Each structure stands twice: as C-alpha cells, then as structure tokens.
Chain A
C-alpha cells in the first residue's frame, strides 16, 4: 500500500529570492531522485489557471508546502484555493534569512554551495514526507 500513496510537494515560484530558487530545486530533487514514485507536484498558479481538478490537489494528496521566504506563498495559496497543507518547510529557516532573501538565481549559476543548500532543504522535506507517510500508515 505504501507504494500507492503519493504526497504533494508544492514549491513557491521563487522569482523574488534565492530561497525560492532553492525551494524549487529541492522540490525537483524530491520528484527526480528522493521519492520519485511517491511525490507529485503542481504549478502553483494552476490553482487560478486550471480547473476544479487542480483545486482538489491538497484534498487529494497530503501536501507539504516548500516556501523560499516568509511570505509563505506556497502554503497560503494552497490553503486559499485548495485545502490545508500538512506541513510547511521554510527555506529561510534552514539556510538563514540573509541568504534566503538574496537575489533569485539562475540555475546556470548554481555553485556547490547552492547544491549543498538544496541537499539540506530536501533532507528536511524528506523528513516531513516520511513523518506524514508513517502517520497515514498507522
């Protein structure tokens, strides 16, 4: 049964700050490498541009919001249009406010330091992911 369960990981768009870039990459890491068979995502603006199906996202899947900064757009937009999230990961809590609020980064300019930030955030998302999964399976 565990293989059939899917968990939503929703990143902010991340255009305003480095935290957003890291949020996006950590979410992609969940989809590509960490839990590829159990992670689903949605482009946040689809809550507006899409239809009822997109707005069912957080009702259909336990959802983790990954936010790059304290505006918490992924959490707030998901809860406004779709449903309550199960958990929120703030990149700024993990890499620090000063770094997270720096300018948004092109993936063309990623460094080893940025990759390490992505690893750290993905590790926290994975921890939340597994906690949610274990609660569901209890």
Chain B
C-alpha cells in the first residue's frame, strides 16, 4: 500500500504584519510538533522563484494555505504554481473570534498571540487529518 502524501501546509511570508507572523508560527507548530508525520511545509519564497525543483514540491500535492492578510499571498502563489489547494485559512477569520486581543507585532508575539497561534495550529492539524482520512 502506498504511503499517503504529506499535506503541504503553506504560510504567507508574513514580513509586514503580526498576522503574517502568526500564520508562519502556526505552520511551524503544525509541521514540527502537532502532526509532523502527516504534514510538512516548503518555503513559499522558493515556490515563488518558479524553479522546476521548487514547484515540483507542490504540483498536484494536497496543500493547505494560511494567510495573514487579504492579499492572500500563500493561496495565490500556491495556486499559481500548481498546488492542489484543499483548504484556505485566514488569520483574520480567527482574530474575529478574539476581538480586542493584542497578539503582538510582526517581530514578536505576546502570550495572547501565542495562545491564538496554538489555536490556529490545532485547526490546521485537524484539517490535515481530515484531508488524509478522506483521501482527498
């Protein structure tokens, strides 16, 4: 029996906004701690170069994107380079559930920010499990 492909969980680069940093940290938490056997990530900047070796990592692979702002860099870049996007997450959607929260800055998160990151990572991991269980 063939092993299932790991789901690629792709964050925006998130340099300019705290929500971008939260996206990145949630992905790292997902692929290194919560579900490393089922998910991994690839550097979005590498994908953006359009190198054959880079795009080969995501073409037709099951992908989840998470973006920090409405520009949706991760979703658009992964789609452009041929990734099979199974789900798109937005940090802003989660932040709507935490009105008034102060997650930190684009450089550093607060304790409150880290708690929300953990919440997002749990959602990502649940989505990874669902994609794999459904064989999507």
Q: A-side interface residues toward B, CB under 8 Å?
A: 11-16, 20, 24-25, 27-29, 32, 41-50, 71, 73-74, 76-77, 80, 103-104, 106-108
Over the window 91-122 of chain B, the binary record of Cβ atoms lying under 8 Å from chain A Cβ atoms (1 yes, 0 no) is 00000000000000111110000100000000
When distances are taken between beta carbons in the complex, the residues of chain A under 8 Å from B48 are 44-45, 47-48, 73, 77
Q: Are B28 and A45 in contact (CB under 8 A)?
A: no
Q: B-side interface residues toward A, CB under 8 Å?
A: 11-16, 20-21, 24-25, 27-29, 32, 41-46, 48-50, 71-74, 76-77, 80, 105-109, 114
Q: Are A107 and B25 in contact (CB under 8 A)?
A: yes
Residue of A nearest to B105 (CB): A32
Other-chain contact of B20, A12, A43, A80 (Cβ < 8 Å): A43
In addition to A14-B43, A15-B44, A16-B46, 6 A-B residue pairs with Cβ atoms within 8 Å of each other are: A13-B24, A13-B44, A44-B48, A49-B73, A73-B48, A107-B21
When distances are taken between beta carbons in the complex, the residues of chain A under 8 Å from B106 are 28
CB distance from B48 to the nearest CB of A (A): 5
How many residue pairs link A and B with beta carbons under 8 A? The number is 108
Q: Are A14 and B77 in contact (CB under 8 A)?
A: no
Q: Are A15 and B11 in contact (CB under 8 A)?
A: yes
In angstroms, Cα B49 to Cα A74, docked, is 8
When distances are taken between beta carbons in the complex, the residues of chain A under 8 Å from B77 are 45, 48-49
When distances are taken between beta carbons in the complex, the residues of chain A under 8 Å from B49 are 71, 73, 76-77, 80
Q: Are B15 and A43 in contact (CB under 8 A)?
A: yes
Known contacts A45-B73, A80-B50; A20/B43 CB under 8 A: yes
In angstroms, Cα B12 to Cα A25, docked, is 16
